[in-house]
């Protein structure tokens, strides 16, 4: 993964204005296996940036997604999550602890490939189930409906 300094330079080179808020959002997304929602990023930053609004976080996340520096994931029930790793890869969503993580799997279909006569531009795939940590803690399903609520 590109480090934060390189990512900021790359964005500046492409003409993206690096505001304090945008830099703060990028800093929150510095761990490639962390897939926070906009609300989680907002809660994390609010103490350090009291004038920050949730709308500003969404605006910056959308701008960064448009530049290809992160992925907007609509994989977990109820809310979008943001992935700092922009290259195609798979995810696993634990229905017990609600964690979303990267996993290795073979990709038979990739962006910019043709599938059944269609041009594929984006691939987002997610496996759903119970993660190894929850299985060890014996927190396996039955799945609680509370995970679908925000």
For 99-134, write each residue's pLDDT tens digit: 888 888 776 666 677 778 888 877 778 889 999 999
Q: Locate the domains of the chain by residue range.
A: 4-148
CATH match for 4-148 among 1.10.10.10, 3.30.470.20, 3.65.10.10, 1.20.1560.10? 1.10.10.10
| pLDDT value of residue 146 | 42
Residue-averaged pLDDT of the chain: 83
pLDDT above 90: percentage of residues in the chain:
29
**pTM as predicted:** 0.74
| pLDDT value of residue 74 | 86
7 by Cβ neighbours in 10 Å (0-12 / 13-18 / 19+) ranks as buried
Report which secondary-structure segment, H or E, holds 126: strand 125-129
Point out the least confidently predicted range of 3-7, 56-60, 81-85, 109-113: 109-113
């Amino acid at each position: 993964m590109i480090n934060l300094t390189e990512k900021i330079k790359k964005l500046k080179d492409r003409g993206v204005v690096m505001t304090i808020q945008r830099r703060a959002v990028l800093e929150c997304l510095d761990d490639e296996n962390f897939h926070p929602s906009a609300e989680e990023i907002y809660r994390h930053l609010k103490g350090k940036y009291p004038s920050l609004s949730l709308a500003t976080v969404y605006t910056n996340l959308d701008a960064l997604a448009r530049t290809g520096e992160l992925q907007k994931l609509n994989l977990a029930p109820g809310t979008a999550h943001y992935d700092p790793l922009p290259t195609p890869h798979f995810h696993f969503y634990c229905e017990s602890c609600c964690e979303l993580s990267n996993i290795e799997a073979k990709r038979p279909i990739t962006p910019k490939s043709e599938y059944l006569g269609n041009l594929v531009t984006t691939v987002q795939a997610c496996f759903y189930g119970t993660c190894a940590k929850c299985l060890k803690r014996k927190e396996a399903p039955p799945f609680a409906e509370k995970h679908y609520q925000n």
